[in-house]
A and B are shown apart, each in its own frame.
Chain A
């Protein structure tokens, strides 16, 4: 049974078709890359997979459960979709802490450790509103991975990162894959896709098309 399955999924907005009868299966333990020009529907695809949008037709099934029947959002997913709405007047740590408190699964140490992992200083008293673009991006990555989420849905995770940070995050993702986690990501940088992904799909004429490696 595939981990994530899109079954005959169609989606359009006010007459503008984005997807038409898409079938797509995601296996556990691989890195998938989704490519396509701006506005082709990469982010929409991720929102469908996470249950933030429902398809007009067809079904989205995660671990055998159709979203919108008994379950709305899949569990144990770490996501970056749109930039998270941070509490601007708090520090990076406090922001992550607020999110962590929802599930209450991890300790403060784990949060700090994750911040160091992505290249942020957990002891910094700088407020998020004064963060640079890249720092906000790192914070977004940190919240997506801090609870050891087994599936990562990362919409343009490398945006605004400098070269060293990109390398760092790539290594991190590779390590996650070795641990058996599943990763879906988009990027406009072909190199990210080439070096990371096991399978690459392109959005073409409202369908997902597998790209030969």
Chain B
């Protein structure tokens, strides 16, 4: 009996905890403006809405979910995993599989609390609206001004729609959690998990913003019911996809404890991704020469041309390698940093020794990339004529200069940037956040003057009227700036690990 009472007490304590209040406040503030939006739409259409329209709005708003709820859940998922991963816990659970499910249960508990808070806030927000009475006249309109106008065409009862929506959301979040948990068990590395979580979030936002709304790859279709219904023209499409994923993931989870002799997956996975990125970079119907295709493979984005796929490829090719550098740096700093430092006697000397090696690696990496790209291209029937046919003003020399010199400067800056952040914060996590933010500047309109050192080595810049030498100058200055800043930080900071 006391046990049950205690459980309830814990539950209520948790519910009242500060973070949940904050969570509610954010939803409330966002909800206020969303509500106003709905009333305006209702006035304009001269159709009455009711509480269901508002509830569906607050629970299903894409912006709210993508920019707030999803990050909160990703964070929660990771924090649960980190706090529960311990030999003393594992031995009691008996297997990694049980561990994965135990963390999933905790996440679902969290989700339930957040849905209660979310629902309470939504109910408060909908005070004053006409009461619940089936789908409102507003939602019957044949348009998509609101979540309800989409859902009403497919589901008879608004409450059922809401329950299905929440179920889909919880399923999806569970899938994401399973992915993260599997990665964590496999690699026992916080960095990888945080990186993937940030990636999922960026992917969610980017796929929503930049893919056509009818692309299967839009993450929103699987998180948010009305989005999925609009995509598949039925309720079950999204569920089928998510449950399919779930089955696959459960299958993997059930194999986690088996002793299969593995090899180093990190590098294999990276190489596979690089090959995929290069392969998907080809545009066979545009451009006949190998060099055209070479340009496309590394096209990235410029202020004038931006394709989501190219952005993803760029991410894999250039930010992926930064991730490996980061791993290297992490071991260096955590395992040996201090002892080495004592021997080098000064931080800057130690840094140069490390940076030296990295500079060499960057060069080798660019060479390897170029060779791999040419190898892949040689498998296809492109002409080996020595010119770029899609834009006669681009010479091969320009292209190589841009690829190697600007590529080198750009990657070198990324490395310095990541180093600086992990040095200052002593947390891998923040350098990933830093990378994510930096890569955001590749989005159209954010780097109009071409002075932010993000994606400046994209081949797309060859096709614009930017001077590649100007880019070199910009990147060079950024590198110098980063190094000077680092040396300054070194001279200021205590040696404290």
Assess whether B88 is in contact with A143, with CB atoms less than 8 Å apart.
Answer: yes
Assess whether A84 is in contact with B88, with CB atoms less than 8 Å apart.
Answer: yes
Give Cα A144–Cα B88 distance, bound, in whole angstroms: 8
Interface string of A57-79 (1 = CB under 8 A from B): 00000000001110111110111
Assess whether B95 is in contact with A84, with CB atoms less than 8 Å apart.
Answer: no
Q: Which residues of A contact B95 (CB under 8 A)?
A: 71-73
Assess whether B92 is in contact with A103, with CB atoms less than 8 Å apart.
Answer: yes
Instruction: Name the interface residues of A84-105: CB closer than 8 Å to any CB of B.
Output: 84-85, 87, 99, 102-103
Smallest Cβ-Cβ distance to B82: which chain A residue: A85
Smallest Cβ-Cβ distance to B88: which chain A residue: A84
Instruction: Name the interface residues of B260-274: CB closer than 8 Å to any CB of A.
Output: 261
**Stretch in A29-37, A48-56, A181-189 touching the partner:** A48-56
Q: Which residues of A contact B85 (CB under 8 A)?
A: 85
Assess whether B94 is in contact with A73, with CB atoms less than 8 Å apart.
Answer: yes
Q: Which residues of A contact B92 (CB under 8 A)?
A: 99, 102-103
Smallest Cβ-Cβ distance to A95: which chain B residue: B88
Assess whether B94 is in contact with A84, with CB atoms less than 8 Å apart.
Answer: no
Interface string of B216-259 (1 = CB under 8 A from A): 00000000000000000000000000000000000000000111
Given A84-B88, A99-B88, A99-B89, do A72 and B94 touch, yes or no (CB 8 Å)? yes
Residue in A56, A68, A69, A73 whose beta carbon sits within 8 Å of that of B91 in the complex: A73
Q: Which residues of A contact B94 (CB under 8 A)?
A: 71-73, 75
Residue in B87, B93, B96 whose beta carbon sits within 8 Å of that of A81 in the complex: B87
Interface string of B68-94 (1 = CB under 8 A from A): 000000000000000101111111111
Give Cα A182–Cα B37 distance, bound, in whole angstroms: 69
Confirm or deny: A198 has a beta carbon within 8 angstroms of a beta carbon on chain B.
no
Given A54-B259, A67-B259, do A72 and B96 touch, yes or no (CB 8 Å)? yes
Interface string of A198-209 (1 = CB under 8 A from B): 000000000000
Instruction: Name the interface residues of A149-167: CB closer than 8 Å to any CB of B.
Output: none
Assess whether A73 is in contact with B90, with CB atoms less than 8 Å apart.
Answer: yes
Q: Which residues of A contact B93 (CB under 8 A)?
A: 73, 102
Assess whether B86 is in contact with A68, with CB atoms less than 8 Å apart.
Answer: no
Give Cα A87–Cα B96 distance, bound, in whole angstroms: 20
Q: Which residues of B contact A69 (CB under 8 A)?
A: 258-259
A-B contact pairs, 20 of them (CB 8 A): A52-B87, A54-B259, A56-B261, A68-B259, A69-B259, A71-B94, A71-B257, A72-B97, A72-B257, A73-B95, A74-B91, A78-B91, A79-B91, A84-B87, A85-B85, A85-B88, A99-B89, A102-B93, A140-B88, A143-B88
